[in-house]
Structures are given as structure tokens and as C-alpha cells.
């Protein structure tokens, strides 16, 4: 089959690889009908995530048709079912799954000990996202093996086309959980750093959950324009305006009630600390570049929440922890518990409350995936979200 | 300090020094523009440093009685189910791949064969010296064995949906002479690692019915 394969920093290629097969009884094989490139895939392209190996198949946002199921009697899926597949892999039986902390599943990461050495305890396995995160082959491919297919994948109605439901696999629940973590109350103003796909979903979700205004912060005009099309959104370009001053003005001097940081470990910035981070990361004195996170902490109102859907991997430097403590902030973060959100968010799509396909700017065959990665990263051609057709 | 403890102490220092060296080496590779592998090497180094600092947390010196290692895990199954799996000793190679086979000779006695680093084989005979249904199994090696060890596994059910706590203790005297391969296997924290990964797979199998793996999956050319 064809698949998008990682060979090193800045080196991804579409090549022929063997087809997947059923390995464990609870596996299923999915024929991928639509897949997407996630902003977090760019961290892989840029070589920021450790324990990648040349030959790894990428991709964790994918959906398709069940073509084979394993021998377990727990399968609810049948051959021919059309499903979306969460990017987190969860067993459904452990302490964490039973508490709906699906992305903390104890049993789905075969390489858990690699993570334990760094983080103390390991989260769930993920598709196509390094060996430390399980080493599972991803879904930017024609076929995928889905472990614990009796837990994660959800059937979707034929009346909804792929593009409307595809983002249930990651970015819609991720943006939604980020907004839910803000515990939004009537009258709240929410600031969102990063207007990439997850930021766009977080903005839309914050408004759905009752935010009075959302302040969208980015430096890419097309992303800011997309955010500002939604009533209630105020766009702020951090290259043109002083973000902290502007946020103060827009919140009557109080600060946003919650700040969503949808940027992650490769933040860009025009501030002094951003250059400091680049220098330190280049010398490996720090691993991540938390410019946006620092600003979110600084901006947040007293007693407010900083919600972090942006991905972090290692060690942060110069965090304004005094500000966080002094204002009594709440921090919420982590990989999305996708399974918890599948049904409620599908219901919102069916009711027409949201059509997540609004973020799509490019539709390409999988053969063009390698170029698409670079176009997405370099924000060429006003690229915000790429979906790929593998067949 | 007996010999085993000395080996363990040396490994701990090797781990710490190796970790520090990897951090430095990784940083150097970064400066020569091989950033990806540099970052990985440095991260691995940091992991080793962390490991060195943790070393000894689960194994301790037991005076004249050798080394004790201990690992515990909570599993979402009844003590009855967990005990029943473990008591069928022939099944243990499913969760401890280092074991080639376990053969039950009679109700109390069994013969064990394990592969160790370098493909060499270690054999031992064990007998169950204490057994409490659904709660405890204790054993020790007997007769002609390449290593001398005794151990126990406890099953302790908890309230409030906290599963059953499974706790393994293993005490061993490091073997000498001809069984050098076993010594290499048992030195340092290897038994800890083997026990920890064994319990992890035991938990996976008992909670999910299978063991998570990425074997036989597609990948591109390296």
C-alpha cells in the first residue's frame, strides 16, 4: 500500500510499504477514505519529538471503512462499517479508561517504559507519533491496523460526508476539550493563542459553550481572517500589536477569564524571550519554546484558567511561575480524551451547530503528501488544513 | 559490601556517567547540525541520569541473604482470576518473554528454562513452599539449578474500584562460576526490569485479554 513515511528531519516521503494485518484479537483493519495532516505532525517533520525511527508511518487523523476484524467476541464493528478513529488508543478496561481518562490508558502503549523514564508514568499509545508514544503505524496510508477497535472507533451516519466528521478523530475534540477545560461562565472573555486548526476549533467551541467574546491571537493574516469570520471573535496580530496591552484594553483591565494556548512547543514570537528560547533550544539547554505559554500566563486574570491543548514534550525554561502563583491560576492540559467527546460532538454536527470542515483549505491525493507537509509548515498558499485522499 | 551489591553500585555509576556523557554528546551533535539524533541522544542521556538517581528504589541489600527486588501493580481483575492465571505456571512465558518454558513436574515442583543475554540458557528447579488460595504463592529454587532464588507473589484486593494489588518479591544470591550468564542477567536492575515488564504484560493480558504490540506492522525502508 501507499503510506507517508518519516525518514528524518524535513524528510517525509510517500512510498510503498507492506499492508497491515490483524495481530491481536481486538484489532481491526481500516481502509482509509480520508486522512489529514495535523499541526502536531509538523513537530515530527521539524525533528522536535524524540524516539522517531526512519521508516515510521505517520498520521493520526483518519477515518474509513472496516475491512477486517480480529477474533475477539467483543467487536461491535462489522466489515463495511464507516468509522472515525480516535488518535488515542485505549483499552477501555483499566483504571484510567474506566474514569474516562482515555488518553491516560495504562495498557495501549507497548513502549510505556520509555515514557516512564522521562515522565514518571506513561499515557496511552498514539497512532504515528514516535516510539515513545507506542510506535504504532499511522493513518496517512491506504490501510491501518487499529488496536482495541472494540473501544475507540465510532460508526458515523452515511448522511454526513467524510469532511464533516473526520475531525472528530482529533482537532475538534481537542479544541472542544480546551474550551471545556476553561469552565466558561456567562460573560467570560476567552483569549486563544494560535489560530491553526486546533485554535479554530477551540474558538468555535468556546463560543458554543457560551463565551461572550473570544480574542484570537496569531500573526498569519489568513488564519486571523478565518477566526474573525465568526461573530464574537476579535482578532489580534501579535506582530502588529502589543498583545498584553491589547488584552488589557479588551477586558476592561481585568484580563481574559481563561487563556487557551493552542501553539505548543514550537512557538514563534517577536519578543526578546522568543529569541532566547531559539538560542537555548539550538544548544539543547531547553527542549521546548514556550513563548505563547508565558504570554498566556502573564495575560490571564486573577483566579483564571490557562488551558493548554498545544503539545509539549520536554523541559521549559523561564516560566513565569511567580505570576501563575500570585494570581492563583488553574492549569488544565494533556492529550485529548477523544472517546469521551465522540458522541456529544457528533450530535452537535448532526444538529448543524458546527461544521468542522470550515478549516479545510487544501484537498490533495496522498501522492502529494510530502509537499503538503512543507506547504502547511511554511504556511504557503494560505494553507491552514490539508486533507488527503489515499485511494 | 558483598559482590552483588558492588556490581549494582558500579552499574548505577555507569548509568549516571553514561547519562551525563550522552547529554553532552547529544548536545555536541546538535551543534554539528545533526539536530534530530542529537536531541534524541541527549534525551536518552537525561533518562539514564534519571534512572541512576532512582536505582535502588526497588532493590535493596538483604544482608547475608543476597538481593531483594520488589515490584507491585494494581490490576482491574479479581484476586481469584489473577491467582488462577499465575498458578498455572506454564502460562508465565506469555508475560515474561525471557522464560523459554516452565514445566510443572507435580503440584509443587516445576522446571524453569530462561534465555539470557547472548542467547545462553539458564535452568532451575523450583518448589512451592507456601500457597494460600487467591492470596499468595511462595517458592524457592531446589536441587540442580543455575541460580538460587526464592520469591513470593501476593494478591491483595482493594475497595473503591482500585483493583487487586499484585506484589512480587524476589530474593536471590548472585551465582558464580559457570553460571556467569545468569550473573550478568541478575546483576544491576535487570531483575527489576524483567519483573516490572512482566507485571505490565500480566496487567495488559488480564485487563484487556491481549498484550499490546507493534510487531508485524507496516513500515518503510529504514
pLDDT in tens, A133-174: 999 999 999 999 999 999 999 999 999 999 999 999 999 999
DSSP A65-100: EEEEE-S-TT----TT-EEEE-SEE--SSSHHHHTT
Predicted pLDDT at A22: 98
Q: Which of residues 187-226 of A touch B (CB under 8 A)?
A: none
Q: Which of B86, B81, B108 is nearest to B99 (CA)?
A: B86
Is residue B75 within 8 A of residue B166, CB to CB? The reply is yes
Asked if the C-beta of A57 comes within 8 angstroms of chain B's C-beta atoms, the answer is yes
Domain shared by B145 and B82, yes or no: yes
Predicted pLDDT at A304: 98
Domain shared by B89 and B191, yes or no: yes
Domain shared by B168 and B106, yes or no: yes
Predicted pLDDT at A241: 95
pLDDT in tens, A111-127: 999 999 889 999 999 99
Q: Which of residues 320-339 of A touch B (CB under 8 A)?
A: none
pLDDT in tens, A129-144: 999 999 999 999 999 9
Domain shared by A182 and A264, yes or no: yes
Domain shared by A147 and A190, yes or no: no
User: What letters, b where the CB count within 10 A reaches 16 and e where it falls short, cover B10-29?
Assistant: ebbeebbebbeebbeebbeb
**What is the residue range of A86's domain?**
2-170+336-389
**CA of A46: which chain B residue's CA is closest?**
B36
Domain shared by B48 and B106, yes or no: no
Q: Which residues of chain B have pLDDT under 70?
A: 1-65, 117-118, 173-190
Residue B92 phi, psi (nearest 5): -60, -30
Domain shared by A182 and A70, yes or no: no
How many beta-carbon contacts under 8 Å exist across A and B? Answer: 134
- Chain A residues with beta carbon closer than 8 angstroms to that of B95: none
When divided into structural domains, chain A yields a total of 2
Domain shared by A61 and A95, yes or no: yes
What three-state secondary structure class fits B77? coil
Predicted pLDDT at A269: 62
CATH of the domain at B115: 3.30.530.20
- What percent of chain B clears pLDDT 70, i.e. is strictly above it? 62
Domain shared by B119 and B84, yes or no: yes
Domain shared by B76 and B172, yes or no: yes
**Residue B129 grid coordinates:** 513452599
Q: Which one of A333, A350, A366 terminates a domain?
A: A333
- Chain A residues with beta carbon closer than 8 angstroms to that of B219: 5, 17, 55-57, 137
**What is the residue range of B23's domain?**
3-54
Contact B214 A47 (CB under 8 A): no
Complex ipTM value? 0.91
Predicted pLDDT at A378: 92
Task: Give strand ranges (E) for A209-343.
Answer: 213-218, 233-237, 258-261, 305-308, 330-333
Domain shared by A224 and A166, yes or no: no
Predicted pLDDT at A270: 58
**Residue B25 grid coordinates:** 554528546
Q: Is residue B79 part of a domain?
A: yes
Asked if the C-beta of A370 comes within 8 angstroms of chain B's C-beta atoms, the answer is no
**Between B66 and A61, where is the model more confident?**
A61
Q: Is residue B221 part of a domain?
A: no
Amino acid at each position: 500500500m501507499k503510506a507517508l513515511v518519516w525518514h528524518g528531519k524535513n524528510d517525509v516521503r510517500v512510498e510503498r510499504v507492506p499492508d497491515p494485518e490483524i495481530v491481536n484479537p481486538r484489532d481491526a483493519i481500516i481502509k482509509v477514505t480520508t486522512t489529514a495532516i495535523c499541526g502536531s505532525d509538523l513537530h515530527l517533520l521539524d525533528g522536535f519529538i524524540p524516539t522517531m525511527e526512519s521508516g515510521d508511518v505517520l498520521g493520526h487523523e483518519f477515518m474509513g471503512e472496516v475491512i477486517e476484524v480480529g477474533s475477539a467476541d467483543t467487536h461491535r464493528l462489522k466489515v463495511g462499517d464507516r468509522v472515525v478513529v480516535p488518535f488515542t488508543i485505549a483499552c477501555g478496561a483499566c483504571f484510567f479508561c474506566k474514569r474516562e481518562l482515555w488518553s491516560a490508558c495504562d495498557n495501549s502503549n507497548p513502549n510505556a517504559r520509555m515514557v516512564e523514564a522521562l515522565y514518571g508514568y506513561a499515557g496511552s499509545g498514539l497512532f504515528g507519533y514516535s516510539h515513545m508514544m507506542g510506535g504504532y503505524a499511522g493513518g496517512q496510508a491506504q490501510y491501518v491496523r487499529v488496536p482495541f477497535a472494540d473501544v475507540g472507533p465510532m460508526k458515523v451516519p452515511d448522511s454526513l460526508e467524510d469532511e464533516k466528521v473526520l475531525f472528530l478523530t482529533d482537532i475538534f475534540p481537542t479544541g472542544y476539550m480546551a474550551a471545556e477545560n476553561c469552565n466558561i461562565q456567562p460573560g467570560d472573555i476567552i483569549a486563544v493563542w494560535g489560530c491553526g486548526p486546533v485554535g479554530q476549533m477551540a474558538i468555535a467551541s468556546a463560543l458554543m459553550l457560551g463565551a461572550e467574546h473570544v480574542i484570537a491571537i496569531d500573526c498569519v493574516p489568513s488564519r486571523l481572517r478565518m477566526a474573525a469570520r465568526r461573530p464574537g471573535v476579535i482578532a489580534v496580530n501579535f506582530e502588529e500589536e502589543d498583545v498584553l496591552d491589547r488584552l488589557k484594553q479588551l477586558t476592561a483591565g481585568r484580563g481574559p477569564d481563561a487563556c487557551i494556548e493552542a501553539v505548543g512547543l514550537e512557538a514563534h514570537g517577536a519578543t526578546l524571550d522568543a529569541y532566547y528560547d531559539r538560542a537555548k533550544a539550538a544548544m539543547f539547554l531547553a527542549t521546548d519554546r514556550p513563548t505563547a505559554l508565558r504570554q498566556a500566563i502573564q495575560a490571564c486574570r486573577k483566579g483564571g484558567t490557562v488551558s493548554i491543548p498545544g503539545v509539549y514534550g520536554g523541559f521549559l525554561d523561564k516560566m513565569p511561575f511567580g505570576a501563575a502563583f500570585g494570581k492563583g491560576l488553574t492549569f488544565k492540559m494533556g492529550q485529548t480524551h477523544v472517546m469521551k467527546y465522540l458522541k456529544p460532538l457528533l450530535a452537535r454536527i448532526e444538529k448543524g451547530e458546527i461544521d468542522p470542515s470550515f478549516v479545510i483549505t487544501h484537498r490533495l491525493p496522498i501522492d502529494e503528501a510530502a509537499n503538503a507537509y512543507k506547504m502547511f509548515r511554511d504556511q504557503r498558499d494560505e494553507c491552514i488544513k490539508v486533507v488527503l485522499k489515499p485511494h | 559490601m558483598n559482590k552483588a551489591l558492588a556490581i549494582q553500585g558500579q552499574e548505577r555509576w555507569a548509568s549516571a556517567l553514561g547519562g551525563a556523557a550522552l547529554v553532552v554528546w547529544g548536545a555536541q551533535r546538535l551543534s554539528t547540525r545533526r539536530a534530530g539524533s542529537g536531541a534524541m541522544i541527549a534525551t536518552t542521556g537525561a533518562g539514564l541520569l534519571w534512572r541512576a538517581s532512582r536505582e535502588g528504589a526497588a532493590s535493596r541489600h538483604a544482608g547475608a541473604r543476597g538481593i531483594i527486588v520488589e515490584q507491585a501493580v494494581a490490576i482491574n481483575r479479581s484476586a481469584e482470576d489473577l491467582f488462577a492465571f499465575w498458578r498455572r505456571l506454564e502460562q508465565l512465558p506469555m508475560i515474561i518473554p525471557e522464560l523459554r518454558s516452565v514445566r510443572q513436574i507435580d503440584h509443587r515442583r516445576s522446571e524453569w528454562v530462561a534465555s539470557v543475554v547472548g542467547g545462553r540458557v539458564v535452568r532451575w528447579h523450583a518448589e512451592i513452599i507456601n500457597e494460600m488460595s487467591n492470596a499468595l504463592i511462595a517458592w524457592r529454587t531446589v536441587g540442580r539449578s543455575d541460580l538460587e532464588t526464592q520469591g513470593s507473589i501476593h494478591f491483595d484486593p482493594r475497595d473503591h474500584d482500585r483493583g487487586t494489588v499484585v506484589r512480587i518479591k524476589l530474593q536471590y544470591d548472585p551465582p558464580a562460576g559457570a553460571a556467569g550468564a545468569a550473573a550478568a542477567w541478575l546483576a544491576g536492575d535487570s531483575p527489576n526490569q524483567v519483573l516490572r515488564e512482566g507485571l505490565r504484560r500480566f496487567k495488559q493480558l488480564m485487563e484487556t485479554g491481549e498484550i499490546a504490540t507493534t510487531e508485524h506492522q507496516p513500515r518503510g525502508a529504514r
